[in-house]
Chains A and B, each alone.
Chain A
Amino acid sequence: MSEEGVAVKNRDWGRRAFGPARRRAIAALAEALFSSESAEGLAPAPAALAERVADEFDLLVGAGSSDLRRGFGLLAFLVEWFPIFILGELSRASRLPLARRLAYLHRLEHAKIALVATLFVAFKLPLTMIAFEVGAELGSTGFDRTTISTPRTRKLAVVAAADVDAIHEATGPGRG
Chain B
Amino acid sequence: MNAGLPYDGAVIEGREIGRGFDETCDVVIVGSGAGGAVMAAILAEAGLRVIVLEEGPYYTPAEYGSFRPTESMRRIWRESGLLTALGMGQTPVIGLSAGRCVGGSSVLTGGVCFRIPSDIHAHWVGELGLAELSEKSLEPAYQEVERRIRVAEVPEAMRSEATQRFVRGAERLGIAIHSLKRNTEGCIGNGRCNFGCPSGAKLSVDVSYIPSALAHGSRVVSDALVERVIVDHGRAVGVRGRLLDGAEGRPKSPFQVRARAVVVACGTLHTPILLLRSGLGRSTASLGRNVTLHPALRVSALFDDVLDGWNGALQSVYSNSFAREGITLVGVYSAVNVLAAALPGAGATHRRFVAEMPRHGIFGAMVHDEGGGSVRLGPSREPVLTYRMAPRDLARLRRSITILAEMAFAGGAREVYLPIFGLAPMRTVDDVQKLEQTPLDARRIECIAFHPLGSARMATDARRGVVDPNGQSYEVEDLYIADGSILPTSIGVNSQVPIMTMATRVAWRLAEQMQRSTRTARHG
Contact = CB atoms under 8 A, between A and B. Distances in A.
Given A152-B311, A154-B311, A175-B200, 12 more contacts: A11-B75, A42-B347, A59-B74, A117-B444, A125-B342, A129-B340, A132-B337, A142-B308, A142-B336, A142-B355, A148-B335, A163-B155
Contact of B308 (A32, A144, A167, A175): A144
A105 to B, nearest CB: 4
Contacts of B13: 11
Interface stretch (B119-127, B180-188, B391-399): B180-188
Interface of B: 13, 15, 57, 59, 61-63, 65-70, 73-75, 79-82, 93, 150, 152, 155, 157-161, 164, 184-190, 192, 195, 197-201, 207, 248-249, 306, 308, 310-312, 335-338, 340-342, 344-348, 350-351, 354-355, 357-358, 378-382, 421-422, 441-444, 446
A113 to B, nearest CB: 8
Nearest to A142: B358
A174 B199 contact: yes
A133 B335 contact: yes
Interface residues of A, number: 84
B383 to A, nearest CB: 10
A170 interface: yes
Contacts of A68: 79-80, 82, 382
Contacts of A21: none
B346 A15 contact: no
B341 A129 contact: yes
B422 A149 contact: no
B63 A138 contact: no
Given A65-B382, A156-B158, A56 B443 contact: no
A89 interface: no
Given A68-B382, A156-B160, A164-B188, A130 B70 contact: yes
Contacts of A33: 346-347, 350
Contacts of A176: 61-62, 65, 197-201
B68 A133 contact: yes
B347 A102 contact: yes
A124 B446 CA distance: 13
A61 B312 contact: no
A125 B61 CA distance: 26
A124 B341 CA distance: 7
A148 B339 CA distance: 13
A89 to B, nearest CB: 18
B157 A164 contact: yes
Given A60-B82, A65-B380, A2 B66 contact: yes
Contact of B337 (A32, A65, A133, A154): A133
15 contacts: A36-B351, A64-B79, A102-B346, A109-B346, A114-B421, A114-B443, A118-B443, A130-B70, A148-B69, A151-B190, A167-B187, A174-B187, A174-B200, A175-B61, A176-B62
Contacts of B70: 56, 60, 126, 129-130, 133
Nearest to A113: B441
Contacts of A118: 93, 421, 443
Closest 6 CB pairs of A and B: A176-B200, A174-B186, A2-B66, A114-B443, A142-B358, A128-B341
A5 B187 CA distance: 21
A159 interface: yes
Contacts of A124: 341, 346
A159 to B, nearest CB: 4
A15 B248 contact: yes
B249 to A, nearest CB: 4
Nearest to A174: B186
Contacts of A106: 345-346
Contacts of A65: 79, 380-382
